[in-house]
Structure 1
Amino acid sequence: MQSHDLSLPAWGPYTKRYSGISHVPAANDGVRFDLSVFPGMYRRRVDVPNVRFESGFHPWAAAPDLSCYTFRHELLWKDQLYADISFAPLGEDARLIRAELHNNTDAPQNLVLHYMASAWDPVPSYRGFSLPGCEVSLPENAAFVWAKDYDTLDFSIHRPNECLTWDGLRRGEEAVPGFGQGYGIGMGFGCSEGKGPFGQVMPSGKGDTVTFTLSLTAPLHTPCLCVRYWNPADESSEYDVNGQDTLRLPPCQKPSIAILPLNASIPAGKFTLTLTAAGVGGAKLDCLALCEQADAGNFTVTLRGDGSRPQAEPAADENYLTLQYPHIQECYGILWDDITTHIRTIENDELDIFLRDTVHDHVNATLRGNGKGHYVNLFMGPIPLEAGQTKVIYGAVCAAPDASAAALRCHELLTQRSDWEHVWQQASASLAAPPALPAAESLALGQQLMNAVLCTNVVYPVYTRGQYIRHYTPGRWWDCVYTWDSGFIGMGLAQTSLRNAFDCLNTYLMPPDSVDAAFLHHGSMVPTQFYLYAELLNRTGSRKLAAYCYPRLKLYYRFFTGQEGGSTTANLHSGLLRPWDYFYNSGGWDDYPPQQEVQRRRLQANCAPVVTTAHAIRCAKILAYTARLLSETADADAFDADALRLGRSLQTAWDEESGYFGYLLHDPSGDAADILRTEQGLNYDMGLDGASPLFAGACTEPQKELLWQKLQSPEHLWCACGLSTVDQSAPYYRRDGYWNGAVWMPYQWMFFKSALDAGLADFAYRIADTALTLWQNECAESYCCFEHFMIESRRGAGWHQFSGLSSPIVQWFSAYYRPGTLTTGFDAFVRHTDWAPDNSTLHATLDFTAAGRSTVLVVLQPGSKAVTASVPCSVTTRHDGLLELTFALDAPCTVTISIHP
């Protein structure tokens, strides 16, 4: 089975609660250990570093492999009184904890340092219940299967998403409270027509079928089928069993077991069980067992109890503590510095209010709250700091097979206490930024913070494809996979780690034989994984990468373009693609005006946006190039034909009057009618969607000229902080929107790449330089990495530690300032590069797939350079070390470049 996990250590910043370090136990069953580490003002104030809202801490620096990272905690803004909390390796089983406390005020300060240990059972994304796991007891000779581990499951009424499941769950799989492994068969399978999870309307399940294979070690003479299920409906669910028996699952308020005696004995070996639903009731299936009727009462599924309360063994006189949690096989050891430390227990589910409310309780060793959670608190202090003083305090955390081994490991680590500063000095070298040109010096902080957020925005657990994985998230507020953000996350990660970038891509790709998930889908259907793949291919030139990704991307593409898996994206006669059956969002822009109008007027069945087709064209071109690399000539020709066909379809959506493309309405038969207009008859799509055929390379020359004017005009799309999502002259432009009235980075990156394709080097630089300067200014002011920028104020807004759609910031920095970087537009692919070790020389081979002007950016070590190319080009040095090579090509061709001092 393909792993969708990341190549990261078991220790890392994976929490979904409070900042610090987490551990993924070897069982990898979704249970997580957290050790939050944060400062406070002794007997005065504590700011709890909640990762779900702004709470006074900032990802500050991180190694790409997460071996070492630092969070800055501000007690008095800005940098008057703060702590840098860092983590570094002490072998694979332990991590060093370093707290560097700074008092930059003119007065003495008393601080406290909190270590806060806790353990967490998995919680399904966007659900309010935890999954504690279970113990299954089976009678002798019984056979057992979890319902979600079926062989086949088919709906009698076709669903558009049955081959593109949400979050990569199996077809029909659903998270259900009280189920043994947390997931079972649901999603309306076999049920009467009605609502499913999150208010989804489900069709009748009459005729739905599911098959299982159960293995019997001995024959069953008087067998019965035992089914654990939950039926919250008012009527029983019914299923035909192998055409011989009828299974009834009565209503119940919690998971129950139903027992069905079977009519015939069953021999030893494999037994195929088929359930065909009658389409009544609302049952969800947890697990099934076959056993002798007399033994049926011995089949039980017992949920585990609370996993948050450990067996604590303090050795306070030796400065360590061991914690054995009931749902974790490993035992943890926590070590602290030789300062006054009190061990407390906190009986509450949250700390944000409770810890503040109890800050003046100096007496009790147990702080009792609502009893719904449990924390072990190492309360260290007072820690006095004189005016201008800095102190460093060390600790450590480790994991061992059992309590005695944990105690032994703590003793061993304490004997190495004198080496910890040396360990830190060696490990912290990994936090240094890669070399950059001198011209980039003023942008350093913004890049440091963006890379720290990119590397540390990882959560565990996320459940997909039957696995619990670590996952790069756009921000910890989104505890889930997220398709369109993740392509940009991967491209950002590629600037410091190609391995991390590939792992991010691989999470979203499915094996070519996948029948229920063409790709990992959550949220907007924007296929950014193709752009990430192209970035990796250009950076590596790897045929192995191409051969692995090609069949997976082909599966993705064919569903995206409505050619496979029951996809409904291409069911309009115009040929334009329609994503509405899979998500409300066309291009990832929540409040984009025509998108909102489609929802308001319920036009999803007969209205197509522009951007979905534009992305599909670019995906087809990426696949066509890859197919030719792999000698899949027939496939390449088919992808080229798709790109031409989809490009012709876009022309039906051109609106000459506004100078933009438009959302295209269709009549009841699916034929193109008119574009979506306001009540005054104005094109509703005056914005980046209406300009998106530019980055697809699907415009006529007059259309290109007009759209480039719009993009560069301060009266239309250009503003002081970049490209507005919506034309500022449009009557539906707003100053207070989320996307409408704001500047975001991802589509700016799309048009930046398109500007390189058009040979518009100055405009490409204007996009990048404006974004980089804007970003640096905001980071210097707030230390935050925001989602977007408000046009009037030019200040950041949205999520404050955002690594998703803001990651083009590090791509632009590499493109203009990081030696060893070669950047092209979409229509040029890098076949081969040969860089000198010091990046002073480059020999490269590029494949240009379109005629016309095209600019390539090359960053080398500073100094004068000579350029030779197999095709004439103009060379511009915008700043020392950056060369802009612009070609005028009569036809697609291969170009060799040589650059040397």
Structure 2
Amino acid sequence: MGGDIDYDGDTDQLKTLNYAAIGGTHDLQLSSWGPYSKKYAGISHIADIRSGLRFDLSVVISQNEHKCIIPNVRFESGYHPWQASNDLTRYSYRYELEWKDQLYADVHYQIIDSLTAAVAIKYVNNTDQFQQLDADLMASVSYPENYSSIKLPVSPNMTWKNAIHYESLQFAHPNAKDYLPDNGWLQAEIRDSRFIDGRAVGKNFGKDSGDRASYQLRLPAQFQNGSLAIAYQLKVGKKATFKLSGLVNKTVVLTGTGKLAWKTVRIDRYSKSMHPSHLELIALGGDGNGDGNPVDLNGFLIISGPKPQVKANLKATPATTATLATSENSFASILDTLVKTQPQHLIPKKVLDRPNQQLFLKYPDLPIGYTISWPKDQEDAGKETGKGSDTKIKTRVRVREFQNDQLDVFYREKINDHVSSVFRGNQKGDYTALGLPSLTLAPHSQKWVYASFSVTHKKQPAKPIQYHLDSLFTAADRQGDSNAALSKDILPVGKKYALGDNY
């Protein structure tokens, strides 16, 4: 048997650790720019961290308008992560057009500052033939998977509390998975676009009598009386009973409709047993006497309103917040009119400025716009090396639009259509394709092509970039190829895990 573990000694040692010394050394806040796409490898910009909306840009390269590489991150698709700096401000991918480095393209991404990034494509032709190569910059907006399809406008006399923002939550019969949620989610959290905010409490909550959740609430300003509306979803015909305490003290029965529904309860501000900043729900089962049915609890809406008018004409009641608390039945029906659909706006406003070599994109749901720029003369901007000196390059760009959620098949089907500018697919996605100058690369030569993209808070394109992209990327490329330049960034114990020169 091994020696006993001195737990007291370990505890004393932990107490002597200098936690202040490591403070600030582990920053979990990633840059707003980075390789964040779950579809196609490239560079992304988090436009709105609260909503999770993201701008994505990836590069699609084709050879002789036939073979093309679309860098799908979910399966092998002809590209490889190639190089990256420690701070991830510079990274690259290799697109393998012909095996064993006969013909390839290295796509480099460089984060210049918080508002600007750039891409450079290094074409290398080691074959004995001329090669025609094309590149499309594919720009798109990405919504979170649980981006809500509905929204609830909230006025000053309303407060909304999503059920997932609980103070405590307990299951009557817990299991191990309750305390080991996936993906950093909260206990009992579910995500789906059918919910307000795209989040709710679920995972069999309310199925067992004794399941409970408690909340800290904030009442609307100058609250006198009003109503509490519980947003939930339950299977058709099923029932779930809960005992409420704190803000209201009442037993409620939730009836399933198969879709998001509301249960309203009157709030009396002057009740002696009322605790206005607290609400607790305890499951009592389907009929209040036993096991019930699991319910998806979306949240709570508190509305300040006048005293109920029992004889109110419900059909004539206008859908205004001043009359929302007239009665429980009218309250629920009016809430259905307040909840609005929230579509995803995938197609941007596009402004192509050829004289200034810019394409401006403004997506309706993003608070900012993006300007994609390219050098005025790509032929002079790049440096060609090798035997061939007759590489030909066309400086005119083209803009096309692919209205489909996947590019892997759809793009290949349309690649030889040189007439259309808009290709309509299932319209579940939209990619704005900026075709960089096409070139014919001479045998045993290489060529660089550049573009940059900037964030702008105005409704017009940003000013042309002033950086010298050729010197920026060629210097980074030389550093990436230098084993000595990067060896200092690797600890001695990690050197044996290095793969060639690409760390």
TM-score class normalised by the smaller sequence: 0.7 to 0.9
Q: Is the 8 A contact 1:101 1:391 kept in 2?
A: yes
1:109 pairs with 2:131: yes
1:274 pairs with 2:290: no
Q: 1:214 to 1:271 in 2, by over 3 A?
A: same
Q: Which of the numbers 313, 317, 321 marks the counterpart of 2:351?
A: 313
Residue 429 of structure 1: CA displacement?
A: 5.9
1:399 pairs with 2:455: yes
| 2:258 corresponding residue in structure 1 | 253
**In the aligned structure 2, how far is the partner of 1:241 from the partner of 1:305?**
34
**In the aligned structure 1, how far is the partner of 2:91 from the partner of 2:300?**
46
SS of residue in 2 equivalent to 1:167: helix
Map Cα deviations across residues 29-57 of structure 1 (whole Å, 9 max, x no partner): 32221100131124323221111111111
SS of residue in 2 equivalent to 1:78: coil
SS of residue in 1 equivalent to 2:355: helix
1:206 pairs with 2:228: no
Q: Is the 8 A contact 2:79 2:94 kept in 1?
A: yes
Q: 1:97 to 1:78 in 2, by over 3 A?
A: same
| 2:302 corresponding residue in structure 1 | 290
Q: Which of the numbers 87, 105, 130 marks the counterpart of 1:65?
A: 87
1:215 pairs with 2:206: no
Map Cα deviations across residues 562-586 of structure 1 (whole Å, 9 max, x no partner): xxxxxxxxxxxxxxxxxxxxxxxxx
| 1:876 corresponding residue in structure 2 | none
Greater length-normalized contact order (CA 8 Å, ≥ 6 residues apart): 2
SS of residue in 2 equivalent to 1:248: strand
Residue 240 of structure 1: CA displacement?
A: 1.2
1:119-518 correspondence runs (5 A): 119-123=141-145, 130-132=146-148, 135-191=151-207, 205-218=208-221, 220-232=223-235, 234-242=237-245, 244-262=249-267, 265=270, 270-279=276-285, 280-291=292-303, 292=305, 294-296=323-325, 297=331, 300-337=338-375, 338=377, 339-404=395-460, 407-409=461-463, 411=464, 413=465, 416=466, 419-428=468-477, 431=480, 435=484, 496=489
**In the aligned structure 1, how far is the partner of 2:271 from the partner of 2:220?**
11
Residue 340 of structure 1: CA displacement?
A: 2.1
Residue 219 of structure 1: CA displacement?
A: 5.0
Amino acid at match of 2:255: P
Map Cα deviations across residues 120-165 of structure 1 (whole Å, 9 max, x no partner): 1112xxxxxx414754323543332111111111112232343333
Map Cα deviations across residues 189-218 of structure 1 (whole Å, 9 max, x no partner): 112xxxxxxxxxxxxx21111111211244
**In the aligned structure 1, how far is the partner of 2:489 from the partner of 2:298?**
44
Map Cα deviations across residues 225-277 of structure 1 (whole Å, 9 max, x no partner): 11222213541222111183222322123323332234664699952111111
Q: Which of the numbers 86, 91, 100 marks the counterpart of 2:122?
A: 100
Residue 94 of structure 1: CA displacement?
A: 0.9
Q: Is the 8 A contact 1:216 1:269 kept in 2?
A: no
Q: Is the 8 A contact 1:132 1:307 kept in 2?
A: no
**In the aligned structure 2, how far is the partner of 1:221 from the partner of 1:18?**
53
Q: Is the 8 A contact 1:178 1:303 kept in 2?
A: no
**In the aligned structure 1, how far is the partner of 2:144 from the partner of 2:25?**
19
- What 5-or-longer segments of structure 2 have no aligned partner? 1-23, 286-291, 309-322, 326-330, 378-394
Q: Is the 8 A contact 1:234 1:281 kept in 2?
A: no
SS of residue in 2 equivalent to 1:39: strand
Q: 1:432 to 1:26 in 2, by over 3 A?
A: farther
SS of residue in 2 equivalent to 1:357: helix
1:824-839 correspondence runs (5 A): none
The structure with the greater share of residues assigned to strand is 2
The structure with the greater share of residues assigned to helix is 1
Q: Is the 8 A contact 2:48 2:54 kept in 1?
A: no
| 1:691 corresponding residue in structure 2 | none
- What 5-or-longer segments of structure 1 have no aligned partner? 124-129, 192-204, 437-447, 452-494, 499-538, 540-807, 819-901
Q: 1:51 to 1:5 in 2, by over 3 A?
A: farther
**In the aligned structure 1, how far is the partner of 2:228 from the partner of 2:371?**
46
SS of residue in 2 equivalent to 1:137: coil
Q: 1:108 to 1:147 in 2, by over 3 A?
A: same
SS of residue in 2 equivalent to 1:285: strand
Q: Is the 8 A contact 1:325 1:331 kept in 2?
A: yes
Q: Give the TM-score normalised by the residue count of structure 2.
A: 0.76
Map Cα deviations across residues 268-317 of structure 1 (whole Å, 9 max, x no partner): 99521111112323321112012236425565443521132222222133
Query: Identity over the aligned pairs, expressed in percent?
Result: 28
SS of residue in 2 equivalent to 1:149: coil
1:757-772 correspondence runs (5 A): none
**In the aligned structure 2, how far is the partner of 1:49 from the partner of 1:177?**
27
Residue 12 of structure 1: CA displacement?
A: 1.4
| 2:313 corresponding residue in structure 1 | none
Q: Is the 8 A contact 1:38 1:85 kept in 2?
A: no
SS of residue in 2 equivalent to 1:143: strand
Q: 1:275 to 1:269 in 2, by over 3 A?
A: closer
Amino acid at match of 1:361: D
SS of residue in 1 equivalent to 2:232: strand
Q: Is the 8 A contact 2:455 2:462 kept in 1?
A: no
**In the aligned structure 2, how far is the partner of 1:26 from the partner of 1:255?**
27
| 1:686 corresponding residue in structure 2 | none
Q: 1:394 to 1:111 in 2, by over 3 A?
A: same
**In the aligned structure 2, how far is the partner of 1:20 from the partner of 1:402?**
25
**In the aligned structure 2, how far is the partner of 1:12 from the partner of 1:245?**
50
**In the aligned structure 2, how far is the partner of 1:301 from the partner of 1:266?**
30
1:54 pairs with 2:46: no
Q: 1:90 to 1:262 in 2, by over 3 A?
A: closer
Q: 1:169 to 1:400 in 2, by over 3 A?
A: same
Q: 1:364 to 1:266 in 2, by over 3 A?
A: farther
Q: Is the 8 A contact 2:350 2:359 kept in 1?
A: yes
**In the aligned structure 2, how far is the partner of 1:91 from the partner of 1:398?**
9
1:39-50 correspondence runs (5 A): 39-50=61-72
Amino acid at match of 1:142: M
Q: Is the 8 A contact 1:85 1:98 kept in 2?
A: yes
**In the aligned structure 1, how far is the partner of 2:284 from the partner of 2:222?**
30
Q: Is the 8 A contact 1:111 1:381 kept in 2?
A: no
Map Cα deviations across residues 359-395 of structure 1 (whole Å, 9 max, x no partner): 1211111011111110000123431111122111111
**In the aligned structure 2, how far is the partner of 1:141 from the partner of 1:430?**
60
Aligned positions, number: 424
Map Cα deviations across residues 727-784 of structure 1 (whole Å, 9 max, x no partner): xxxxxxxxxxxxxxxxxxxxxxxxxxxxxxxxxxxxxxxxxxxxxxxxxxxxxxxxxx
Q: 1:79 to 1:328 in 2, by over 3 A?
A: same
**In the aligned structure 1, how far is the partner of 2:33 from the partner of 2:156?**
41
Residue 223 of structure 1: CA displacement?
A: 2.4
SS of residue in 2 equivalent to 1:162: helix
Residue 811 of structure 1: CA displacement?
A: 6.1
**In the aligned structure 1, how far is the partner of 2:371 from the partner of 2:270?**
54
SS of residue in 2 equivalent to 1:403: coil
Q: Give the TM-score normalised by the residue count of structure 1.
A: 0.44
SS of residue in 2 equivalent to 1:424: helix
**In the aligned structure 1, how far is the partner of 2:31 from the partner of 2:155?**
40
